[in-house]
Structure 1
Amino acid sequence: MAGYRTSSDRGHRALLYGILDVLLPGASGAKATLSAAHNARNKSDYEGDIVDPTEGMIDDLVDAVKSVKEEVDFNDKKFKGAHDLKNKGS
């Protein structure tokens, strides 16, 4: 919606988490949690580290994802509403 697009090159997820607060200001609190989970995933996938998440870490991640989804849904609804108004006026 904002014209941003990542590539499939290395680092594309990190870029997305880095601009999360710009794209979805209402979900900016999720930025640190998502970034930490992504870093743990990378250590597991690329360095072979064992990731042993705590229940609290999982709860935080679920809350972060819910926050992002709510903000995306809100912006999608707002975008569609503005688009519908624009088309009615044509």
Structure 2
Amino acid sequence: MYQQILRHHHLVDIEAMRRYLLGKVTHIIGGFAKGPGELPGEWAPRQPNRVFADSGSLQATTDLLHSYLGLATLAIYNEPGLKAFDPTFCMSVDAVERLNNLG
């Protein structure tokens, strides 16, 4: 099933996808939001040793998972400045090649 889905890239409006993803980037906090009107990450009470943007007594943590997946999606569609991406392993082609050369 996954192979069938991956063979249908021609159905993706790449520019619309790019506009959507880049519209979800929050520059003050960093990262991608999960959905329209949301900030990346979660709002949580302050906790030591966490990266955060100060907002009163709450902090907005960067949502690393959605940030990574947003960048991965852009890389799959050859976004300038991003490395070639292997969606099978969810990492750069360079990283996959390095892992293959280890053993």
Same topology, TM > 0.5: no
Which is bigger in relative contact order (C-alpha 8 A, separation at least 6)? Answer: 1
The answer to which structure has the higher strand fraction is 2
Name the TM-score, length of structure 1 as normaliser.
0.31
Name the TM-score, length of structure 2 as normaliser.
0.28
